[in-house]
Copies of this chain bind each other. A is one copy, B any other.
Amino acid sequence: MSSSENNTSIFPKGEKAAPDYFVGTAYVNPLVPNDPTLHIQIWDVVFEAGARNNWHTHAGGQILMATKGIGYYQEKGKPIQVLRQGDVVNVPPHVKHWHGASPDSEFTHIAINPNTQGGVTVWLEPVTEEEYNG
């Protein structure tokens, strides 16, 4: 957790995310494109309130760093975790999960995908209203 709340942004807002993989509106800024030397890909993502990505997995795992607002993270079969500025999540390889904003707050995180030589993201089905409100 941060010692002080922060209402400004570190990175400029990116392009609108592909609607195929999101419910609601999100903006994706590619900070580090997939790099064949560093084997890493990094985005800054802004989710509008209620927006979330589909269920998905990463072959090489993922790190999420919450930088602004209030968000959600859920692994399949576990309760939703609330994320606030300064929270860091380690997503293990191949674990099915989703992330996004909470219903009443925009949410921004940095998403770090390491070990991209094994593949990046496998997109799955959308997160239903029932799952999101669970």
Interface of A (DSSP majority class) = loop
A104 within 8 A of B: no
- Complex partner residue of A63 from B6, B9, B42, CB under 8 angstroms: B42
Copies in the complex: 2
Chain A contact-residue range equals 35 or more
Say yes or no: A115 contacts B11, CB within 8 Å: no
Q: With CB as the reference atom, state the residue of chain B lying closest to A67.
A: B10
Say yes or no: A32 contacts B90, CB within 8 Å: yes
Say yes or no: B85 contacts A35, CB within 8 Å: no
- Complex partner residue of A9 from B6, B31, B40, B93, CB under 8 angstroms: B6
Q: With CB as the reference atom, state the residue of chain B lying closest to A61.
A: B38
The residues of B that contact A32 with a CB separation of less than 8 Å are 63, 88, 90
